[in-house]
Amino acid sequence: MATPEKPTKEQFLAAILKIERFSPAPRVLSKALALLRNPNAEIGDIVALIRTDAALAADIIRGSNSAFYGAGERISSLDLALQRIGFRESIRMLNHAVAHLAAGRNLGSYGIAAEDFWAESLFQGLLLEELAKATDAASPDDAHTVGLLRYIGRLAINQSIDDLGGGLFWDGAAPVAQWELDTVGFTQEQAGAILMKHWQFPDRTVQAIEWQRAPAQAPAANWLAEALEFAAAVLPAGSESAKFGEVLAATAPALPAHPFAQANQLGADRIAHVVELARNGLTAVNQHLYG
């Protein structure tokens, strides 16, 4: 029996652009972040937006009743849920809900379990947010989103492979970026940027995703891309959630010498504090919001 031909790059790209059928959640997030920058926006605007995605609305209601928000009397409506947690916190929770919905599946082609994909995405989002706060170099909200969605391209590539017949797996023999190029014709960073642009995220956010591994090659200076490169040095891609502690301990000695740390005056103690805040945030979200 003849071996089926591998799909072309164009076929993989077409499959990636259909990924929105999972949920319109990322596009909802893009619009919600725009509302955050609008001084005239109100809770009602966020409610109307989130209602366009039933799964997202259900996740927001469930979260508002969790211990993370000091749950009291149970709430069953989206309006009351968002009133309970407030406008700005609604955006933050929306960030988590979108990433959690996207990361709730195994990445079989990469050999990454859903719980590891989620933990890694969440840690990156929290770390980027803390770096933005520590340096005052970017909006913590924007940084949080970029970190949470930095590996959305892996999800896109994995799903496109499944949609086009499956059977393609990274075996670890080659660097993952090379495997992506050889297999589908583009990297997860490029796939992620395609999706973020399709979802109408700001250009700076799209470029941060695209140039996260090589910010110096970006067409314009992008602090978010530089922060993503540093965050990957803190917690390398593909780290198993059960081994976060030992991975973070192993990378810590080299971090103060990283160009990003030096450019942003981040010494060993400051880096350790930022990482600790991100780890504590990861634990709190997983225990009290998604536990």
CA dihedral sign of residues 179, 180, 186, 192: negative
Contact (CB, 8 A) for 227 and 128: yes
Determine the pLDDT at residue 113.
94
Q: Round to whole Å and give the CA distance between 272 and 275.
A: 5
Task: At 258, list the tokens.
Answer: 């990283």
| pLDDT class of 22 with cuts at 50, 70, 90 | low
- What pLDDT is recorded for position 21? 58
Instruction: Give the domains, in start order, of the chain with CATH numbers.
Output: 9-289 (1.10.3210.10)
Q: Which residues contact 98 (CB under 8 A, 6 or more apart)?
A: 25, 26, 28, 29, 56, 148, 149
Work out whether the CA dihedral 267, 268, 273, 277 comes out positive or negative. Answer: positive
**Residue 165 φ/ψ, nearest 5 degrees:** 115, -15
pLDDT of residue 4: 62
Chain centroid offset of residue 182 CA: 24
Count of CB atoms situated within 10 Å of the CB of 258: 18
pLDDT band of 1, cuts 50, 70, 90: very low
CA angle 262, 231, 185 (to 5 degrees): 120
pTM for this predicted structure: 0.91
Helix (H, G, I), strand (E, B) or coil at 107: strand
Residue with tokens 């170099």: 137
Nearest residue to 70 (alpha-carbon basis) of 90, 89, 87, 84? 84
Closest alpha carbon to 56 in 22, 80, 33: 22
CA–CA dist 81, 62 (Å, integer)? 9
Average pLDDT over residues 28-46: 84
Mean pLDDT of the chain: 90
- Contact present, 77 and 61 (Cβ < 8 Å): yes
